[in-house]
Amino acid sequence: MIMQAEAKKIHTTEEYLDFEVNSDIRHEYINGEIIPMTGGTPEHNEIASILNAALRVSLKGKPYSIFVADQRLWIPERKLYTYPDVMVVPRPLERQQGRTDTITNPVMIAEVLSKSTKSYDRDEKFSAYRTIPTFQEYLLIDQYTAHVEQYSKTDSHKWIFTEYDDPESYISLSSIPFEIRLADIYESVEFES
C-alpha cells in the first residue's frame, strides 16, 4: 500500500493575521503556510541586543525607527510575513494597507544566523527581501564565530558582498550613517568551544 503525503493546510493572509495576533508565540507566513518561529539562544539575543543599542546611539535624532525581533514585516510580492532580527526603517513608517502592526519599508535588515535558519536567511529570505523597493542593506551575523556578511545595494539588481572576520575591522553601512567594529558586535558573547 502506498501512503500519500498529507496535504499542507494553506491559509489566507487574513486567517494568518487573526491567528497571529492571538498567539503567544510568533509565526512566519510563507505562501499560505503558518510556520512557528523557534526561540533564540542567549548568544543570538546578545548579538541582536548589542546591534540594536549601537544603532540607537548612532541614529539618535535621525529619521529612523529601529525594531528588534517582534516587528512584523509584510513582503507582498512573495506573500511573506516575517520578523527580522533587527530592522531599520525610515520615517514615516509605511504600514501594510489596513494594518497598524505591520510595516513594509525597511532600509536595512540584519539576521543573526542559527544552524537551522542560515541557509534560508541567505537564500530564500534574502531573495524575498530584495523585492522590497526601500531595502538597501543586509547583514548576516554568525552567532557561533566572529563573522559577518554584508550585502549593499548599488543599483537595481546589483549588490556588493563584503565579509568580515578580523575583530578590528569596521563594518560601515551605506544605507544609513552607521559604523561598528566587528569585535563590538560580539562583546560579551561567549562562543562554545
pLDDT tens digits, 169-193: 999 999 999 999 999 999 989 887 6
CB burial of residue 189 (10 Å; 0-12, 13-18, 19+):
middle
Asked whether residue 3 carries a pLDDT value surpassing 90, the answer given is no
Instruction: Tell me the three cell numbers of residue 180.
Output: 561598528
Q: Do the Cβ atoms of 26 and 37 come closer than 8 Å?
A: yes
- By residue count, the chain amounts to 193
C-beta atoms surrounding 182 within 10 Å: 18
- pTM confidence score: 0.91
Asked whether residue 4 carries a pLDDT value surpassing 80, the answer given is no
Residue 164 or 20, more confident: 164
SS3 category, 55: helix
Tell me the mean pLDDT in the region 38-64: 93
pLDDT tens digits, 23-36: 888 888 988 898 88
Determine the Cα–Cα distance for residues 90 and 62; give it in Å rounded to an integer: 9
